[in-house]
Amino acid sequence: MTGLFDLTGKTALVTGGANGMGAMIARGLLQAGAAVIVTSRKAADAEAAQQALGEFGKAEGLAADLASSEGAEALAAKLVDRGDPLHIVINNAGKTFGAPLDSFPAKGWDGVMMVNVQAPFTLVRDLLPLLRAHATPDDPARVINIGSVAGARVENLPAYSYAASKAAIHHLSRVLAVELAGDAITVNSILPGYFPTKMTSHIRSEEQAMSAMLDHIPLRRMGRPEDIAGACVFLSAASGAYVTGISLPVDGGILAAG
């Protein structure tokens, strides 16, 4: 069992890793021994994350705007040109948009689908040379796409493009898992429930809304940093070498409760 969750010698890319859930994931990977590259849309945030995460291991912050195909391609090109080993890609960067159904605008779709679906696909496609370079059947390269319980069940939120995008990334992960198995690259998705991030700040700021949310979660609490980080370490380390094509809920039992 020694080394089952050890990531020493591995390098991981975590998009949107400068704050929120991405920072939780990045810290967990660092504590497991990996070197971690995090991205943020703003260069200042990327630099601040590099300094903060550096307390836990070798961290690097890169500015990358994944709201366009050009931005995703530029990030991948930068990493490929450098030629440094890359063993793990965690597509965590996300975008949402909420509005009532009868006034939900066209602009609520393009950016959400780009960041949540197209950018992860683009990064996997363009980073294949790096992922293939050090992948073996006994120690595959790993791709983890961060989805959401909102893409697997109806959460009764007016975030139509977000829910659709998360359902899409779950299925895309399965398609890629089959496609890339022969290259010794596993592809899985993680379906988080409710965590203390910017996306849930409006719920956490209202006592009644917070109480209703906790009633919705069988384990009666929000997710903690170690919950999401632990799932990512499991899938990234030797523990997850034979796991591909799954959608792993980390939700306190929401999906199980139907």
Tokens of 206: 């209202």
pLDDT of res. 160: 98
pLDDT value at position 203? 84
CATH of residue 102's domain is: 3.40.50.720
At 207 the pLDDT is 87
Does residue 125 sit within a domain?
yes
pLDDT of residue 80: 98
Query: Could you tell me if 3 and 33 are in contact, meaning their C-beta atoms sit under 8 angstroms apart?
Result: no
Evaluate whether residue 41 is within a structural domain: yes
pLDDT of amino acid 220: 96
- Ordered per-residue pLDDT tens for the chain, 258 residues: 779 999 999 999 999 999 999 999 999 999 999 999 999 999 999 999 999 999 999 999 999 999 999 999 999 999 999 999 999 999 999 999 999 999 999 999 999 999 999 999 999 999 999 999 999 999 999 999 999 999 999 998 899 999 999 999 999 999 999 999 999 999 999 999 999 988 788 888 888 888 998 999 999 999 999 999 999 999 999 999 999 999 999 999 999 998
Cα angle 94, 98, 102 (rounded to 5 degrees) comes to 145
Please state the domain count of the chain. 1
pLDDT at 205: 83
In a domain, 156, yes or no: yes
Residue 1 located in a structural domain: no
Catalytic site positions:
162
Asked if residue 5 is part of any domain, the answer here is no
**pLDDT score for 114:** 98
For residue 102, tell me if it sits in a domain: yes
Q: Does any domain span residue 42?
A: yes
Global pTM? 0.96
| Residue where the block lists tokens 């066209």 | 106
> Strand order in 59-63's β-sheet?
59-63, 35-40, 11-14, 88-91, 141-146, 185-192, 247-250
- Which structural domain, as residue segments, surrounds residue 48? 11-257
pLDDT at 197: 86
